[in-house]
Chains A and B, each alone.
Chain A
Amino acid sequence: AQKVTQAQTEISVVEKEDVTLDCVYETRDTTYYLFWYKQPPSGELVFLIRRNSFDEQNEISGRYSWNFQKSTSSFNFTITASQVVDSAVYFCALTSGTYKYIFGTGTRLKVLA
């Protein structure tokens, strides 16, 4: 069975601190895809990144970076120099080639001014 674990329920940081959100997944499939979504207080899920299992290159997009490590089944998300606008719930998700996403339970990030 597939599973996504986001062990950090809530994280609080002070503005400008770096923060890493953890995502650990379980799957027996060799081909799979991982996602991160941001859910701000307004509720809409905003797509951040999609990564397939054959691409272990880390990705950087502005202050956001993602570290994909198949050896530890992790796909962690780091925000550098956090800002108040980064406050949201962040979801990690997994799928193995179908429409069925397995979502983690989310990590609530609070960035304090």
Chain B
Amino acid sequence: SQTIHQWPATLVQPVGSPLSLECTVEGTSNPNLYWYRQAAGRGLQLLFYSVGIGQISSEVPQNLSASRPQDRQFILSSKKLLLSDSGFYLCAWSVSLAADTQYFGPGTRLTVL
């Protein structure tokens, strides 16, 4: 069966520091991968998606970037964090892009102080 991992689970970072969040999927090949952000008490906002190694599409222009160095690895980064980057970051995967079910990881709670 497929499983999706994210780490770290929680992170507290000062403003201006760099960020690297990692997501890995097991049990499937060539998944579509997604990064979402959930601000406190709000819905989910799609940040990036990827259909393959090195292929990243950005949904919202912002302070963050994403990379996919390996088939089942998806990384969310920032060079300098802002207070507004605080939130709950969720990684998800799906088999196809066409209205397929997305399965989510456990998330990373980021607090920027």
Contacts and interface: CB of A to CB of B under 8 A. Distances in A.
Given A101-B46, A105-B43, A43 B99 contact: no
Interface stretch (A60-68, A77-85, A92-100): A92-100
Contacts, number: 55
11 contacts: A32-B99, A35-B101, A43-B88, A43-B106, A43-B109, A47-B103, A47-B104, A96-B99, A97-B98, A103-B43, A104-B43
Interface in A25-67: 32-33, 35, 37, 42-47, 50, 52
Contacts of B34: 99
A104 B49 CA distance: 20
A103 B107 CA distance: 17
Interface residues of B, number: 24
B15 interface: no
A103 B102 CA distance: 12
A31 to B, nearest CB: 8
Nearest to A92: B43
Contact of B101 (A44, A47, A105): A47
Nearest to B92: A45
